[in-house]
Amino acid sequence: MKYTISHPTKKLAGTIELTASKSESNRALIIQALCSEKFEIKNLASAQDTETLAKILSSPDSELIDVGPAGTTMRFLTAYFATKIGTRTLTGSDRMKKRPIGILVNALRDLGAHIQYLDKEGFPPLKITGKALKGGEIEMDGNVSSQFISALLLISPELQNGLVINFKSKVTSRPYIDMTLNMLEEFRVYGQWHENSISVSKQNYHKKSEEDYAYEVEADWSAASYWYAMVALSEEADLTIKGLKNPSLQGDSILSDVFTFFGVKTEFVPGGIKITKNRIKDEHFGFDFADCPDIAQTVAVVVSALNIPALFNGVHTLRIKETDRVEALKIELKKLGTEVEILNDNSVKINPSSDIKHPASVDTYEDHRMAMAFSALAMKLENITIENPEVVKKSYPNFWNDLKSLGFEIKES
């Protein structure tokens, strides 16, 4: 299936009820499962990954657990089930079986976990024999996926000796780790940074004492990035996005600063934000995405469409996502006339063409962010065709309906 997307006027105006944060929702679900006191989670994400995690946690005694393509779910459950009595096989999609998990497994083994690989060393599927873990002090590289670190932090209150993680190098994606620590604190579990280490003593999760307490998930700043891109590429825009907060737990909230470069003005209003079209800076753009890798694809599309040369640093984790996102961008942006030069594992140069080409279609590589990032080109080109558009269900199931509500036309073929 393909969608061909266009916008007749190239002008955006209206209001969007943005999808809830998948990152926040998944952390809240693990905390809810570990907390002895019951509480409600409001505004839980409708993302496929979150629904998968919620379903698995509602049937924790299953011996065979298939997470499909849900990367966060695989990582969080690897740690979670390592602390739960019983033996379980944790598997996923073909792509999931190619996504490395050895760093997390090694860390859990150091804490006393019993985990075996059932196929290729360092990759799912896993056989996990859960038990009470002793915990203690471990070492990790700081540039590993923040999901590995967050998975460990979420179970840290369960560990007999608590947890100390010493980082051997500078920590990347720190906002995601801080999100986890802030959510732990919401439930009376306190962790602490000590220069290049984190410590969490043995504690218990507790909900707040209010009788009607419920944890409410914020809207998803990562999802907001696609709307920022559309405003940047529009002729005129006045768009209200509901559900976003300031300050936010989410590192991707840096969008409001980053997109000023591309002519998008952000105003925080009651219940959300208002973004409008402003003047674009047409000089060279450079940014380090180490703390916000999920917006890199969106920004890559924007600089290409606006013919702004760019240097992206901090992209090393993009290679182990739903696809190799660096390679996928290189292939698909070339269809626009943009050359992506891979300088090393951490840096790429983007050299757009002065005359943007119209691609026949854009492949999504089973990656939700590829589909949504490239859809913004409908504001710049006559239309854009997206292959396998259903992949957006992974994080933003209502994306295509939201586009239609703001005047986009979508033809299926």
Residue-wise pLDDT for 177-188, tens only, equals 999 999 999 999
pLDDT over 80 at 322, yes or no: no
CA dist list (Å): 18 to 11, 41, 156, 355 = 19, 17, 32, 33
Residue that finishes a domain, picked among 194, 215, 236: 215
Same domain, 64 and 88: yes
Q: Supply the residues annotated as catalytic.
A: 294
The number of domains in the chain is 2
At 4-47, the pLDDT tens digits run: 999 999 999 999 999 999 999 999 999 999 999 999 999 999 99
Omega before 309 within 30 of 0, i.e. cis: no
Residue that finishes a domain, picked among 215, 232, 256: 215
Residue 212 vs residue 128, higher pLDDT? 128
362 forms beta bridges with: 386
pTM strictly above 0.85: yes
What is the structure's pLDDT at 323?
A: 76
Same domain, 276 and 330: yes
> 69: closest CA among 378, 395, 304?
395
The CA angle 53-57-61, to the nearest 5 degrees, is 130
Same domain, 374 and 229: yes
What is the structure's pLDDT at 237?
A: 97
Q: Phi/psi at 186 (nearest 5 deg)? A: -55, -30
pLDDT over 80 at 406, yes or no: yes
Same domain, 151 and 78: yes
Same domain, 210 and 231: no
What is the structure's pLDDT at 321?
A: 66
Q: What is the dihedral of CA 207, 209, 211, 212, to 10 degrees?
A: -50
Q: In the structure, what pLDDT confidence band is assigned to residue 131 with cuts at 50, 70 and 90? A: very high
> 395: closest CA among 51, 5, 97, 75?
51
128 forms beta bridges with: 88, 115
